[in-house]
């Protein structure tokens, strides 16, 4: 056992297809960050199969927990609290993490903390840079596309969100149509840099003052273009479809983000979620925010996709604020961020 006054949080994330365990020291330092990915098992189905995800989590969770403690050279005596993603996500997958966290916390008599998955994605940024409020976070993942305003720790106000598909979901669906492997986002990103944005796909701006997004029309437009082209004997280069699609997504994402950052006079723009790995998005945001009063923070790729370090970073603040969960903590597949934020007040 380490005899120091540092705070150590053991964090677990199993909401989708990664079994992840991390230990975070004093909210901002990653002592260990273990991720057992199942992506290879889901690839042949073209998406995550919930039943398979749950089975993998069961197989991996104990091993990943042991690996994390071993890698950190810590024992459970050193841990101050056990944190876990309670939602949103796949219910069967979440249940494995929640029950593992409850069991280990109960056995070692440690406080238990339930964390919202998106709060976690946002707090991944605090492992890179201390937060300065007010801040804006662009959350872009396979299940989420949201602009979230934070005025203080634990406070999340959704000022814009997708009305249909998430950005990552649109990437994955377009990729599938192009015959690219799952997950398709990185493939589209790569091809987009090799092609030309010479096809005019729609941009869903919605109402003038709205920070909401919509990507399902764009996805349909790509499908229709390919379908109509086939009937007319026109073949489009995959690279050009990818470049044109990406241009349309990024035009809307970046311009609404810039507008929202200005409107709310934020000090920082944090980017979160799997799509934050997108090179085009990173470049455009860098162009927009370099030499402005807004500090742009984008985590490294390993902290953009699902991981448990982000859950530990969010839990550190919850721990300091005394927001513990009871033993009745359950997986909540549709937990809303605003409901979670209210609870944390
Ligand atoms: O955050 P994440 O790992 O899982 C969810 O919580 O959804 O995000 C996964 C999503 C997938 O849709 C994947 O295609 C997308 O992030 N993604 C990308 C890139 N890398 C991952 N999308 C566009 N460009 C990328 N480079
Ligand atoms: Zn995620």
Give 213-230 pLDDT, tens digit per residue. 999 999 999 999 999 999
Asked whether residue 2 carries a pLDDT value surpassing 70, the answer given is no
| 1 inside domain | no
Asked whether residue 5 carries a pLDDT value surpassing 90, the answer given is no
- Report the pLDDT averaged over residues 122-138: 98
Q: How far apart are CA 30 and CA 40, in angstroms?
A: 26
Same domain, 213 and 239: yes
| 3 inside domain | no
- Please tell me the predicted confidence (pLDDT) of residue 50: 86
Is residue 189 within 8 Å of residue 246, measured between CB atoms?
A: yes
73, with CB counted inside 10 A (0-12, 13-18, 19+), is exposed
CA of 173 to the centre of ligand 1 (A): 12
Test site for ligand 1: of 168, 186, 218, most ligand atoms within 8 A of the Cβ: 168
| 194 inside domain | yes
| 55 inside domain | yes
- Please tell me the predicted confidence (pLDDT) of residue 18: 87
State the closest ligand 1 atom to the C-alpha of 89, by its place in the atom list counted from 1.
6
CA of 106 to the centre of ligand 1 (A): 34
Residue nearest to atom 8 of ligand 1 (CA): 274
6, with CB counted inside 10 A (0-12, 13-18, 19+), is exposed
| 37 inside domain | yes
- Report the pLDDT averaged over residues 83-107: 97
Same domain, 153 and 75: no
- Domain residue limits at 91: 8-123+304-343
Is residue 140 within 8 Å of residue 281, measured between CB atoms?
A: yes
Confidence grade of residue 192 (pLDDT, cut at 50, 70, 90): very high
- Please tell me the predicted confidence (pLDDT) of residue 143: 87
Residue nearest to atom 7 of ligand 1 (CA): 142
Confidence grade of residue 39 (pLDDT, cut at 50, 70, 90): confident
Residue 37 tokens read as: 């990915």
Q: How far apart are CA 232 and CA 72, in angstroms?
A: 60
- Please tell me the predicted confidence (pLDDT) of residue 339: 86
Confidence grade of residue 345 (pLDDT, cut at 50, 70, 90): low
What's the CATH number where 255 sits?
3.30.420.40
State the closest ligand 1 atom to the C-alpha of 184, by its place in the atom list counted from 1.
14
Q: Which residues of 90-128 are buried (b: 16+ CB within 10 A; e: fewer)?
A: bbbbbbbbbbbbbebbeeeebbbbbbbbbbbbbbbbbbe
Q: How far apart are CA 167 and CA 183, in angstroms?
A: 13
pTM, to two decimals:
0.93
Same domain, 191 and 118: no
324, with CB counted inside 10 A (0-12, 13-18, 19+), is middle
| 264 inside domain | yes
Q: How far apart are CA 23 and CA 8, in angstroms?
A: 6
CA of 225 to the centre of ligand 2 (A): 30
Total domains present in the chain: 2
Instruction: Give the largest CA-CA distance in the chain.
Output: 73
CA of 334 to the centre of ligand 1 (A): 19
Nearest listed ligand to the Cα of residue 277: 1
- Please tell me the predicted confidence (pLDDT) of residue 3: 60
Q: List the beta strands (DSSP E) in the chain.
A: 8-13, 18-25, 29-37, 81-87, 112-116, 135-140, 145-150, 157-161, 268-272, 295-297
Confidence grade of residue 264 (pLDDT, cut at 50, 70, 90): very high
- Please tell me the predicted confidence (pLDDT) of residue 104: 98
Same domain, 314 and 272: no
Same domain, 294 and 318: no
pLDDT digits (tens, 9 = 90+) for 150-179: 999 999 999 999 999 999 999 999 999 999
Asked whether residue 343 carries a pLDDT value surpassing 80, the answer given is no
Same domain, 71 and 111: yes
- Please tell me the predicted confidence (pLDDT) of residue 165: 95
- Report the pLDDT averaged over residues 68-78: 97
**For 172-178, which contacts have Cβ atoms below 8 Å and span 24 or more sequence positions?**
172/47, 172/142, 173/219, 174/219, 174/222, 174/241, 174/242, 174/245, 176/46, 177/222, 177/223, 177/226, 178/226, 178/238, 178/241, 178/242
Same domain, 281 and 309: no
- Please tell me the predicted confidence (pLDDT) of residue 34: 93
Residue nearest to atom 20 of ligand 1 (CA): 186
- Report the pLDDT averaged over residues 98-102: 98
Q: What are the pocket residues of ligand 1 if the criterion is a CB atom closer than 6 Å to any ligand atom?
A: 16, 141-143, 168, 171-172, 183-186, 189, 273-275, 277-278, 305-306
- Please tell me the predicted confidence (pLDDT) of residue 344: 67
Question: Distance from first CA to last CA of the chain, Å, rounded?
Answer: 33
CA of 171 to the centre of ligand 1 (A): 8
- Report the pLDDT averaged over residues 31-60: 83
The upper half-sphere exposure of residue 208, i.e. CA atoms within 13 Å in the direction of its Cβ, equals: 0
pLDDT digits (tens, 9 = 90+) for 237-246: 999 999 999 9
Residue 120 tokens read as: 């976690």
| 329 inside domain | yes
pLDDT digits (tens, 9 = 90+) for 307-320: 999 999 999 999 99
164, with CB counted inside 10 A (0-12, 13-18, 19+), is middle
Asked whether residue 282 carries a pLDDT value surpassing 90, the answer given is yes
| 20 inside domain | yes
Same domain, 291 and 267: yes
State the closest ligand 1 atom to the C-alpha of 142, by its place in the atom list counted from 1.
7
Same domain, 195 and 328: no
Same domain, 292 and 223: yes
With tokens 């903390």, the residue in question is: 113
State the closest ligand 1 atom to the C-alpha of 183, by its place in the atom list counted from 1.
14
- Please tell me the predicted confidence (pLDDT) of residue 46: 75
- Please tell me the predicted confidence (pLDDT) of residue 72: 97
* Average pLDDT taken over every residue of the chain: 94
Confidence grade of residue 289 (pLDDT, cut at 50, 70, 90): very high
Same domain, 136 and 263: yes
Same domain, 143 and 279: yes
- Report the pLDDT averaged over residues 135-149: 95
Residues with Cβ within 8 Å of residue 216, at least 6 apart in sequence:
164, 165, 170
Q: Which residues of 218-247 are buried (b: 16+ CB within 10 A; e: fewer)?
A: bbebbeebbeeeeeeeeebebbbbbbbbbb
């Amino acid at each position: 056992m380490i005899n120091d006054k540092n705070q150590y949080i053991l964090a677990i994330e199993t909401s989708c297809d990664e079994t992840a365990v991390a230990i975070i020291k004093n909210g901002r330092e990653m002592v260990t960050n273990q991720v057992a990915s199942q992506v290879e098992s889901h690839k042949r189905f073209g998406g995550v199969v919930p039943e398979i995800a749950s089975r993998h989590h069961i197989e991996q969770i104990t091993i990943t927990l042991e690996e994390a403690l071993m890698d950190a050279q810590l024992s459970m005596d050193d841990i101050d609290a056990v944190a876990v993603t309670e939602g949103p996500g796949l219910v069967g997958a979440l249940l494995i993490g929640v029950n593992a966290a409850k069991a280990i916390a109960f056995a070692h008599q440690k406080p238990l903390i339930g964390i919202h998955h998106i709060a976690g994605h946002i707090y991944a940024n605090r492992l890179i840079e201390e937060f300065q409020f007010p801040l804006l976070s662009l959350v872009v993942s396979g299940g989420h596309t949201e602009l979230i305003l934070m005025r203080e720790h634990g406070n999340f106000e959704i000022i814009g969100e997708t009305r249909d598909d998430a950005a990552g979901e649109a990437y994955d669906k377009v990729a599938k149509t192009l015959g690219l492997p799952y997950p398709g986002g990185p493939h589209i990103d790569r091809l987009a840099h090799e092609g030309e944005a010479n096809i005019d796909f729609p941009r869903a701006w919605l109402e003038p003052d709205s920070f909401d997004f919509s990507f399902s029309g764009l996805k349909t437009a790509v499908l229709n273009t390919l379908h109509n082209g086939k009937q007319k004997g026109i073949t489009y280069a995959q690279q050009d479809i990818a470049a044109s699609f990406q241009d349309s997504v990024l035009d809307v994402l970046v311009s609404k983000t810039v507008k929202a950052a200005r409107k709310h006079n934020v000090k920082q723009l944090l980017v979160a979620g799997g799509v934050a790995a997108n090179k085009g998005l990173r470049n455009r945001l860098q162009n927009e925010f370099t030499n402005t009063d807004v500090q742009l923070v984008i985590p490294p790729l390993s902290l953009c996709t699902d991981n448990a370090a982000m859950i530990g970073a969010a839990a550190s603040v919850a721990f300091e604020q005394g927001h513990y969960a009871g033993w009745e903590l359950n997986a909540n597949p549709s937990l809303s961020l605003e409901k979670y934020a209210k609870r944390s007040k």
